[in-house]
Amino acid sequence: MMKSEEVMRILENAIRIGKGVIRYGSVASYIPELAKADKNKLGICLYTIDGNQFETGNTEDRFTIQSISKVMALCLALETFGAEFVFNHVGVEPSGEAFNSLVELDNRSNRPFNPMINSGAITVASLLVNHYSIEDMQKYMQDVCEDPEIAVDEAVFQSEMATCARNKAIAYLLKSKEIIDTDVEDSVTFYTKMCSMSVNARDLAMFGLLLANDGVQLSTGKRLISSQTVRMVQTIMLTCGMYDGSGEFALRTGIPTKSGVGGGLLSVSKKKMGIGIYGPSLDKKGNCIAGCELLGYISEALHLHIFDTREWKVEE
| pLDDT for the residue numbered 104 | 64
Secondary structure (3-state) at 55: strand
Examine the domain organization and report whether 218 and 152 are in the same domain: no
Q: Would you say 167 and 176 are in contact if contact means Cβ atoms under 8 Å apart?
A: no
Q: Reply yes or no on whether 271 is catalytic.
A: no
Indicate if 115 and 37 belong to the same structural domain.
no
Domain shared by 204 and 55, yes or no = yes
Active site residue 243: yes
Number of folded domains that form the chain: 2
- Let me know whether 242 and 293 are in one domain: yes
Q: Which amino acid is at 81?
A: F
User: Domain check: are 30 and 72 in the same one?
Assistant: no
Q: Is 110 annotated as a binding residue?
A: no
Total count of residues recorded for the chain: 316
* Chain segment 190-201, per-residue pLDDT in tens: 999 999 999 999
Residues 143 and 211 in one domain: no
Spatial separation of the C-alpha atoms in residues 251 and 286, rounded to whole Å: 18
| CATH number of the domain where residue 177 is located | 3.40.710.10
Tell whether the model's pLDDT for residue 273 goes beyond 90: yes
Of residues 97 and 248, more confidence is placed in 248
**Residue pair 182/171 in contact by the 8 Å Cβ criterion:** no
Choose, from 70, 193, 258, 272, the residue flagged as catalytic. 70
Same domain, yes or no: 44 and 80: no
Q: Tell me the pTM.
A: 0.94
pLDDT at 161: 95
Evaluate if residue 283 carries a pLDDT over 90.
yes
109 flagged as catalytic: no
Question: Which of 195, 210, 244 lies at the terminal end of a domain, its last residue?
Answer: 195
Whether 24 is a known active-site residue: answer no
Residue 70 catalytic? yes
- Express each pLDDT in 68-123 by its tens digit: 999 999 999 999 999 999 999 999 988 766 565 665 666 566 788 899 999 999 99
What's the pLDDT band for 34 if we cut at 50, 70, 90? very high
Is residue 133 part of an annotated ligand binding site? no
Is the pLDDT at 244 greater than 90? The verdict is no
Q: Is 300 annotated as a binding residue?
A: no
**Domain closes at, from 195, 214, 235:** 195
Q: Which of 261, 268, 269, 278 is catalytic?
A: 261
Q: Is 216 annotated as a binding residue?
A: no
Measured CA to CA, the distance from residue 113 to residue 272 in angstroms comes to 30
Judge if 149 and 246 occupy the same domain. Answer: no
The residue range of the domain holding 293 is 2-63+199-315
Q: What is the pLDDT of residues 124-173, one digit of tens each?
A: 999 999 999 999 999 999 999 999 999 999 999 999 999 999 999 999 99
CB 30 within 8 A of CB 314: no
Among 7, 27, 67, 71, the active-site one is: 67
- 251 Cβ contact list (under 8 Å, min separation 6): none
Of 162, 195, 228, which marks where a domain is finished? 195
Q: Do 113 and 10 reside in the same domain of the chain? A: no
Element (H, E) at 309: none
Q: Which residue did the predictor score with more confidence, 176 or 312?
A: 176
* Same domain for 206 and 189: no
